[in-house]
Amino acid sequence: MTRPASRGLPAPCPPASHAPLSPVRRALLGGGLLACAIPAAASSGMRVLRLSHVVAPNTPKGQALEHFAQLVERYSQGRIRVQIYPQSTLYGDADEVQALQFGAVHFIAPSLSKFGRMGLPEFELFDLPYAFDSLEQVRRVMDGVPGQLLLERLQRNGVHGLGYLHNGFKHMSAQHALLTPNDYLGLRMRIQPSRVLADQMQALGASPVALSFGETYPALQRKVVDGTENTASNFWTQKLQRVQSDLSLTGHGYLGYAVVTQQRFWENLPNNERALLDQAMRDALQWGNTLALEHERSSLQALRGTTALRVHTPGAAQTQALRRALLPVRQQLAQRIGSVWMDLLTEALHS
C-alpha cells in the first residue's frame, strides 16, 4: 500500500482510475478540485472536510455520519463543515482508502471486512461466522484489547482510527432458501473482500466472488452471482429484494465499520480543531451505535411486507448444521493471524 506523501509536501494527485467515474467525482475532477491535495480550508476561512461512504443515507452508517457533520457544524459554530458523499458517489470500495491516503478525502468508514486487503488481516476477526451472539458482545471486543490494538495498527498504513460503528448482523440471500449447508452447494456468492468470508462460503460449498458494494446489485441482476449476505438495512436500502427472491435470516455474521482519517492530516490539525472533531465523532458514534437494532427491526418489517420476497428463519437443527460446517473457518484464520488473536477475542467476549 502506498504511503502518503512526506510531511510538508503537497499530497500528490490521486492516480487515474479505470473504474467509471461517478457523476460527483467527474464534476470535481472537471472543476479541478481534485487536481491535487484538497485544501481543507476554503478562502473564507471556513474549513470544509470531505467524508465519503458507500451506503445509503438512511442506514445506521449514513445517519451516524450525518449526525457527525451536524455536531461539527454546531460545536465549531459554523467554522468547520463536513461535506458527505454517500452511496459511492465520490469514491467506492475500490479507491476510497487510496483517496484518503492521498488527502483527496478526509474521512471514510469502510466495513471491518475491508481492512484485510490493507495488509491488516486481524480485522477479519469480526467476520468470523457465529462469533458474536449480540451487539453487546461485539462492543466488548471493540472496547477491549483486540479492538483497541486493531485501531492502533491502522497507523502502519498512515491511517488514524477514530472509532467503531455498528451496522448489525448479516443474513443470506439467493433465489432459494439457504438454511442448511446443502442449500449453498455450487452457488456463486458475493462477498466483501475478506479471506474469512471467502473461507466461510467455501466451507458451505459455495464459490465466493468478491465485489464492491456498488457492484452487488448489478451483479445479482445480471446473474453474475447467485446470492449474497448482508444486513437487513443494506438489503432493503439497496433494494436487493428486487433481484433476490429468498432471504434467510441466518444472522451468522457481524457487519460494522471503523471510521478513519489520514494520520498526517489529523496530526497537522490545530489542537483545538482536532479535539473538537474527536469529540463530535465520539458523540456521533455513541449516538449511531444505538441505531442498529431499530434499523434491523424496521428494515426486516419492510422486507417481510414485500410480496415478491420469501423470508425464511432457520430452525435450531439447521443453525447447528451451519455452525458445524463453519467451524474450520476459525482454524484457518488462527493459522493466518496467530492463535493469540483468538485468545484475545475469547477473553474480550467473556470480560
- Residues interacting with ligand LMR, by CB under 6 A? 54-55, 111, 167, 192, 213, 230, 234, 255
Angle between helices 339-349 and 145-153 (to 10 degrees): 130
Q: Would you say 94 or 334 has its CB closer to ligand LMR?
A: 94
Q: Would you say 101 or 216 has its CB closer to ligand LMR?
A: 216
Contact present, 201 and 207 (Cβ < 8 Å): yes
Q: Give which of 251, 253, 255, 250 is closest to 181, Cα–Cα.
A: 250
Residue 88: φ, ψ to 5°: 60, 25
Q: CB of residue 43 vs ligand LMR: minimum separation in angstroms?
A: 34
d(Cα 16, Cα 13) in Å, to the nearest integer? 9
Q: Would you say 167 or 318 has its CB closer to ligand LMR?
A: 167
Q: CB of residue 286 vs ligand LMR: minimum separation in angstroms?
A: 19
Q: Would you say 259 or 269 has its CB closer to ligand LMR?
A: 259
Q: Would you say 231 or 262 has its CB closer to ligand LMR?
A: 231
Q: CB of residue 327 vs ligand LMR: minimum separation in angstroms?
A: 24
d(Cα 62, Cα 70) in Å, to the nearest integer? 13
Q: Would you say 180 or 192 has its CB closer to ligand LMR?
A: 192
Q: Which residue is nearest to ligand LMR (CB)?
A: 111
112-129: b (≥16 Cβ within 10 Å) or e: bbbbbbbebbbbbbbbbb
d(Cα 252, Cα 254) in Å, to the nearest integer? 7
Q: CB of residue 111 vs ligand LMR: minimum separation in angstroms?
A: 3
Q: Would you say 37 or 135 has its CB closer to ligand LMR?
A: 135
Q: Would you say 114 or 330 has its CB closer to ligand LMR?
A: 114
Q: Residue 254 forms beta bridges with which residues?
A: 169
Contact present, 338 and 346 (Cβ < 8 Å): no
The one-letter amino acid code at 121 reads: P
Q: CB of residue 299 vs ligand LMR: minimum separation in angstroms?
A: 13
Q: CB of residue 259 vs ligand LMR: minimum separation in angstroms?
A: 11
Q: Would you say 247 or 344 has its CB closer to ligand LMR?
A: 247
